[in-house]
Chain A
Amino acid sequence: MSFKTKRVLAATASAVVATLFLAGCAPASNNDSANCDNYSDYKGFEGTEVEVYTTIIAPEADLFVESFADFERCTGITVNWNGTQEFEAQIAVRVEGGTAPDLAIFPQPGLLAKFADSLVPASAKLSESVDANYSPDWKNYGTVDGTFFAAPLGANVKSFVWYNPKVFKDNNYTIPTTWDELLALSDQIAADGQIQPWCAGFGSGEATGWVGTDWMEDIMLRTADAETYDAWVTHGIPFNDPAVATAIGEAGKILKNPDYVGDVASIATTTFQDGGAGIVDGTCAMHRQASFIGGILAADHGAVIVDPSNTEEANGISVFYFPGASADNKPALGGGEFVAAFSDRGEVAALQHFLTTPLWNNNKAKLGGWFSANKGLDEANVADPVNKVAVQILKNATTFRFDGSDVMPAAVGAGTFWKEMTAWVAEDKSDEAVLDAIEKSWPKN
């Protein structure tokens, strides 16, 4: 599960390194003189400390610390950023042992739910701020059994189609806004015969097939409603339910169509790192993948990540939104972190609240390589072109859902789902056989 999370982080990482560099050259912070008016809500806690326990460690952690500078100066609260890779194991020990941190940043909602008994429920003020700044889907992921605990922090998005803007312009292709337009465009590209419409790669060592599960999840969100998606992920409906069959059928229209992808079986043996290489040199037109692939294509295949409006760069790659069934059906697939409090001290509540404000989200985004689902986040503060599209996707999203295979039991989400999606392309296994096999493997309790 954390496998994909790490991949996503990898993307942010390369961006972070770049921006760190740029930040060094920027004129000394223009809000240096920022007066403390914005922080008047958080007064009265001078000399206190708040410990933030998290999986986020260097180099990303430095940017977080930097983003708290004004807050610390104006409020007198010291933020102790305590990042560790052992978070998932240690948080349980610390909570049980009576040394729980003040705030913990949970990388996934499932882990958060296990600590509901020890967490401090959100104050009315925090709840209000989250209502104002985030969509209800995000609030739901921080809610356990009807009690709202954890406010969203950062976000990542997977509903991307990567493409080469220059290739699109040279061939007069327009960016599709609905699923039907996407298929029509694929047909058009196939008919032109110059470029292969799609390329994909499922290969990823032991995790081969996870790319296929992302495809399925993204399409499931589009062909079925969010409730059906949730039921599918939690096994409220069987894996071979007709709704799931529809989704895999739609996925097959692209992935199992030799006119679109060339040799279908080769998808299984192409690594995900190389899967999108074709869009860089213009031999294939579209590639559905999460944001991190940009960094890999740039490093391995000389791609340049550009703004969608830049149609001049030959090796330029960019992203558009993986379209929904209709132009106003805009679900988004991705992930994010959630901040929960184990302590009800005033300064802890102050920091937890501050992290939900557009003020902090904008300041943090300005430092680079990061974005959130905060509605107050100004796209202008997000420098990376792909992250900028991601922010737009999150803002326009009608629904937001976590990567389903991360939430499913490991035997399925990191096991048969991967394997069967691989067999689906490699052995041309039928939709029904694939879904039946996964359904059979779902752990019974």
Chain B
Amino acid sequence: MAINKKAKDIFASPVASAIAVIVAVLWTIPTFGLLVSSIRPEQDINQSGWWTFFTNPTFTLDNYTQVLFQGSTTNPPLFQFFFNSFALTIPAVVFPITLALFAAYALAWFNFRGKDTIFFIIFGLQVVPLQLTLIPLLQLFSKGLVIGGVTLIPDLGITGTFIPIWIAHTIFGLPLAVFLLHNFLSQIPRELIEAGRVDGANWFTLFSKIVLPLSVPAIASFSIFQFLWVWNDLLVGLTFGGGVKQVAPMTVRIAEMVGSRGSGWELLTAGAFVSMIVPLIVFFALQRYFVRGLLAGSVKG
């Protein structure tokens, strides 16, 4: 308590507030410049800095209409990729959270041998850089898994669909999800679970009636993490999409928008904001859970 109070005093002091405001402003200036650039005409962007907007305001939405709706066969409008990003992101958030919730529940409350070992292995898997797994995973999706002539996983013919990207994001998201949710779930008061047992609830009823409602903050905060990560991801989408445009997320398109000679960079400013708008909505919608959830999962005791 005493520590909390002290911390509160420190952060409430005017000096600290001033520093926080200054940092926030400095941090936001580049993004703000990008926003201003995105509403300036192409010629102005090329000729002068965004700050001249204030002395000589010129306003246009051309960049946005061009980015979203105009294009050609090889240069399709960003609009289409907007839906790809949704189709990729939503399952890639739902799958790992669902799996991780069940796993964390079992690891936190079931008694079985090797439980701690399993938990540590899952936790330890976080240190594996995902870049290492790109090629083996891609081979798994495109060729199946054959060891010593025995086909363990056949070639499922799923390359060029959303499925490999979903699976890849799920795999990469699981260790952190299991870790965070496990720590959160294990703090649910034992009395609650025991009371439920006494009333005759089975493990699944306990999960759906007690554990799930209580873990909403943790689920929400992890959803934000996973959503931002998947939405902003370029590498996984580019690699596991098999180079197919039909399943490429928005980031892949934005990376190419600038054109082969970097001449289209006025489009990048608008493209960046189109892609930024959804994470912003998600963040503001879920942010009241965010701080709670962050603290809840990470600090024990």
Q: Does B33 make an interface contact (CB < 8 A)? A: no
Q: Does B255 lie within 8 Å of A85, measured CB to CB?
A: yes
Contact with A along B277-301 (1 / 0, CB 8 A): 0000000000000000000000000
Contact with A along B250-262 (1 / 0, CB 8 A): 0010011001111
Chain B residues with Cβ under 8 A from A231's Cβ? Answer: none
Chain B residues with Cβ under 8 A from A18's Cβ? Answer: none
Q: Does A97 lie within 8 Å of B139, measured CB to CB?
A: yes
Q: Does B260 lie within 8 Å of A94, measured CB to CB?
A: no
Chain A residues with Cβ under 8 A from B134's Cβ? Answer: 93, 97
Closest-by-CB residue of A relative to B242 is A99
Pick from B70-78, B81-89, B116-124, B194-202 the stretch touching chain A: B70-78
Contact with B along A31-70 (1 / 0, CB 8 A): 0000000000000000000010101111111101100000
| Given known contacts A57-B260, A65-B74, A99 and B135 CB-to-CB distance under 8 angstroms | no
- What's the Cα separation between A429 and B143 when bound, in Å? 59
Q: Does B242 lie within 8 Å of A62, measured CB to CB?
A: no
Q: Does B154 make an interface contact (CB < 8 A)? A: no
Q: Does B256 lie within 8 Å of A10, measured CB to CB?
A: no
Q: Does B275 make an interface contact (CB < 8 A)? A: no
- What's the Cα separation between A62 and B76 when bound, in Å? 11
- What's the Cα separation between A9 and B252 when bound, in Å? 22
Q: Does A13 make an interface contact (CB < 8 A)? A: yes
| Given known contacts A6-B261, A59-B259, A62-B73, A90 and B139 CB-to-CB distance under 8 angstroms | no
Q: Does A85 lie within 8 Å of B239, measured CB to CB?
A: no
Q: Which of B128-177 contact A (CB under 8 A)?
A: 134-135, 137-139, 141-143, 159-160
Closest-by-CB residue of A relative to B262 is A6
Q: Does A193 make an interface contact (CB < 8 A)? A: no
Q: Does A98 make an interface contact (CB < 8 A)? A: yes
Q: Does A83 make an interface contact (CB < 8 A)? A: yes
Q: Does B55 make an interface contact (CB < 8 A)? A: no
- What's the Cα separation between A53 and B259 when bound, in Å? 16
Smallest distance from the beta carbon of B142 to chain A beta carbons, Å? 4
Contact with B along A279-317 (1 / 0, CB 8 A): 000000000000000000000000000000000000000
| Given known contacts A53-B243, A61-B75, A13 and B260 CB-to-CB distance under 8 angstroms | yes
Q: Does B73 lie within 8 Å of A13, measured CB to CB?
A: no
| Given known contacts A82-B245, A97-B239, A65 and B138 CB-to-CB distance under 8 angstroms | no
Q: Does A154 make an interface contact (CB < 8 A)? A: no
Smallest distance from the beta carbon of B26 to chain A beta carbons, Å? 28
- What's the Cα separation between A82 and B256 when bound, in Å? 11
- What's the Cα separation between A104 and B244 when bound, in Å? 14
Q: Does B138 lie within 8 Å of A9, measured CB to CB?
A: no
Closest-by-CB residue of A relative to B257 is A58
Chain A residues with Cβ under 8 A from B141's Cβ? Answer: 97
Q: Does B43 make an interface contact (CB < 8 A)? A: no
Q: Does A58 lie within 8 Å of B139, measured CB to CB?
A: no
- What's the Cα separation between A57 and B255 when bound, in Å? 11
- What's the Cα separation between A10 and B263 when bound, in Å? 9
Q: Does B259 lie within 8 Å of A58, measured CB to CB?
A: yes
Contact of A62 among B74, B137, B138, B238 (CB under 8 A): B74
Chain A residues with Cβ under 8 A from B75's Cβ? Answer: 57-59, 61-62
Q: Which of B219-262 contact A (CB under 8 A)?
A: 238-239, 242-245, 252, 255-256, 259-262
Q: Does B74 lie within 8 Å of A10, measured CB to CB?
A: no
- What's the Cα separation between A232 and B141 when bound, in Å? 45
Chain B residues with Cβ under 8 A from A85's Cβ? Answer: 255-256, 260
Q: Does A90 lie within 8 Å of B74, measured CB to CB?
A: no
Q: Does B142 lie within 8 Å of A98, measured CB to CB?
A: yes
Q: Which of A86-114 contact B (CB under 8 A)?
A: 86, 90, 93-94, 96-99, 101
- What's the Cα separation between A55 and B65 when bound, in Å? 26
Q: How large is the interface on A (under 10, 10 to 19, 20 to 34, 35 or more residues)?
A: 20 to 34
Q: Does B135 lie within 8 Å of A97, measured CB to CB?
A: yes
Q: Does A442 make an interface contact (CB < 8 A)? A: no
Smallest distance from the beta carbon of B57 to chain A beta carbons, Å? 27
Q: Does A81 make an interface contact (CB < 8 A)? A: yes
- What's the Cα separation between A9 and B262 when bound, in Å? 11
Closest-by-CB residue of B relative to A292 is B261
Q: Does A60 lie within 8 Å of B260, measured CB to CB?
A: yes
- What's the Cα separation between A101 and B75 when bound, in Å? 19
Q: Does A257 make an interface contact (CB < 8 A)? A: no
Q: Does B139 lie within 8 Å of A9, measured CB to CB?
A: no
Q: Does A430 make an interface contact (CB < 8 A)? A: no
Contact with A along B22-51 (1 / 0, CB 8 A): 000000000000000000000000000000
Closest-by-CB residue of A relative to B155 is A98
Q: Does A86 lie within 8 Å of B255, measured CB to CB?
A: yes
Q: Does A326 make an interface contact (CB < 8 A)? A: no
- What's the Cα separation between A405 and B74 when bound, in Å? 32
Chain B residues with Cβ under 8 A from A84's Cβ? Answer: 238, 243, 252, 255-256
Contact of A13 among B74, B135, B159, B263 (CB under 8 A): B263
- What's the Cα separation between A101 and B139 when bound, in Å? 14
Q: Does B261 lie within 8 Å of A9, measured CB to CB?
A: yes
Smallest distance from the beta carbon of B242 to chain A beta carbons, Å? 5
Smallest distance from the beta carbon of B162 to chain A beta carbons, Å? 15
Q: Does A57 lie within 8 Å of B74, measured CB to CB?
A: yes
| Given known contacts A13-B261, A65-B73, A85-B255, A90 and B159 CB-to-CB distance under 8 angstroms | no
| Given known contacts A61-B74, A62-B73, A10 and B243 CB-to-CB distance under 8 angstroms | no
Q: Does B256 lie within 8 Å of A81, measured CB to CB?
A: no
Closest-by-CB residue of B relative to A86 is B238
- What's the Cα separation between A99 and B241 when bound, in Å? 10
Q: Does A97 lie within 8 Å of B260, measured CB to CB?
A: no
- A-B residue pairs, 4 tightest by C-beta: A97-B138, A58-B75, A98-B142, A61-B74
Residue positions of B touching A, CB distance < 8 A:
72-75, 134-135, 137-139, 141-143, 159-160, 238-239, 242-245, 252, 255-256, 259-263
Q: Offer 19 A-B interface pairs, CB within 8 angstroms, sorted by A.
A: A6-B260, A6-B261, A57-B256, A58-B256, A58-B259, A59-B75, A59-B259, A61-B75, A62-B74, A65-B72, A81-B74, A85-B255, A86-B255, A90-B239, A94-B138, A97-B138, A97-B239, A98-B138, A99-B243
Beyond A58-B256, A84-B238, 18 extra complex contacts between A and B, CB < 8 Å: A6-B260, A9-B260, A13-B261, A53-B243, A57-B75, A57-B256, A58-B260, A61-B75, A62-B72, A64-B74, A84-B243, A84-B256, A85-B260, A96-B135, A97-B142, A98-B138, A98-B143, A99-B142
